[in-house]
Amino acid sequence: MHSVAVLEDRDGNVTALIRDGLIAGDRSGSAVITRGEGIDCFSGAYDLFVVVRNELVHLSTPPEIRCRALLVPGNAPGQTVAGIQSKWVVSYGLSGKDSITVSSLEKEAAVLALQRELMTLQDEVIERQEFPVPFPAGPDSEEIMAAYGSLLLLGIPPVLS
C-alpha cells in the first residue's frame, strides 16, 4: 500500500481524480491519500508527495517531509521543494522541459503526454507516450496533469472511459 500526500486547495479536485482513478483501475485499496491545504498539514514519510499549486507552499519553517517521488509544477520556484526531501522529482506543466504535459485539450477529454521515461513507485519504467484521459468539468489542465501524473507514478495508466 502506498502513501500519497496531496497539497492542494480546498476544492480537492486532484485528490478526487486520484481516488476515481484508483477505483477505475480496481486498485482502491492500494493507496492511502492525505490531502492538506498547507504544507504544515504534512510531516513524515510518503511514497508520493504531490504539489498542485505553487501559491499553496509557504516554507518559512518547513516540517520534515520525506518522499520517494515528488510531483511538482514545472514552474515551481526553488523554495517549493526546498523543505521536501525526495529520491526523485517529476515536473508537470506546459513547458517542453516538464516530464508530464498536455498535448491537446478538448471539452471532455485531454491527451496527457509523457515527454520522457517515468519510473513508477513499483520501479517499473513507463516509456514516452501519450494517454487520452477524461477531462471532467471542474478541474483545470494543471489539476489534470497532477492527478493523472500521480496515477502514472502509482503504476496505474489512465484510461479514457
pTM of full prediction above 0.85: yes
Delimit the domains of the chain by residue range. Answer: 2-153
pLDDT value, residue 127: 92
Contact 33, 4 (CB under 8 A): yes
Smallest Cα–Cα separation from 112: which of 91, 90, 137, 130?
130
pLDDT value, residue 104: 83
What own/partner pairs with CB < 8 Å and gap ≥ 24 does 92-100 have?
92/142, 92/145, 92/146, 92/149, 93/142, 93/145, 94/141, 98/74, 99/149, 100/145, 100/148, 100/149, 100/152
Query: Which residue type sits at 80?
Result: T
Helix (H) or strand (E) holding 18, with range, is helix 13-24
pLDDT digits (tens, 9 = 90+) for 66-94: 899 999 988 765 555 667 888 988 999 98
pLDDT value, residue 43: 83
Highest mean pLDDT among 1-10, 69-78, 130-139: 1-10
Output the average pLDDT for the chain: 82
pLDDT digits (tens, 9 = 90+) for 18-50: 888 877 766 766 788 888 887 777 888 999 999
pLDDT value, residue 105: 78
Smallest Cα–Cα separation from 67: which of 83, 52, 91?
83
Residue 131 CB coordination number (10 Å): 19
**DSSP assignment, residue 54?**
G
The class (CATH top level) of 2-153 is alpha beta
